[in-house]
Amino acid sequence: MKLLVTGGAGYIGSVVVQQLLAEGHTVEVLDNLSTGHADSILGGAIWHEADLHQVGRILDSSFDGVVHLAARSLVGESVSHPERYWHGNIVATLALIDAMREAGVPRLVFSSTAAVYGEPAGASISETDQTMPTNPYGASKLAIDHMLTAEAHAHGLAAISLRYFNVAGASGELRERHDPETHLIPNLLKVAAGEKESASIFGTDYPTEDGTAVRDYIHVRDLAEAHLRALKAATPGTHEIYNLGTGTGTSVREIIDAVREVTGREVPAVEEPRRAGDPAVLVASGQRALEDLGWQPTRDVRQMVADAWNALDGDARGGASETSSVPSAISSTGGAA
**Three-state helix/strand/coil letters over the chain:** CEEEEECCCCHHHHHHHHHHHHCCCEEEEECCCCCCCHHHCCCCCEEECCCHHHHHHCCCCCCCEEEECCCCCCHHHHHHCHHHHHHHHHHHHHHHHHHHHHHCCCEEEEEEEHHHHCCCCCCEECCCCCCCCCCHHHHHHHHHHHHHHHHHHHHCCEEEEEEECEEECCECCECCCCCCCCCHHHHHHHHHCCCCCCEEEECCCCCCCCCCCEECEEEHHHHHHHHHHHHHHCCCCCEEEEEECCCCCEEHHHHHHHHHHHHCCCCCEEEECCCCCCCCEEEECCHHHHHHHCCCCCCCHHHHHHHHHHHCCCCCCCCCCCCCCCCCCCCCCCCCC
Q: How far is residue 259's CA from residue 190's CA, in Å, rounded to a whole number?
A: 11
- 164 annotated active-site: no
Tell me which amino acid residue 33 is.
Answer: L
The tally of CA atoms less than 13 A away on the side-chain side of residue 248 is: 19
Q: Which of 117, 137, 164, 206 is catalytic?
A: 137
How far CA 317 is from CA of 100, 195, 196, in Å, comes to 44, 9, 12
Residue 163 forms beta bridges with which residues?
A: 112, 243
Work out the angle between the directed axes of helices 184-192 and 252-263 (0-180°, nearest 10): 40
**Greatest Cα-to-Cα distance within the chain, rounded to the nearest angstrom:** 57
Annotated catalytic residues are 137
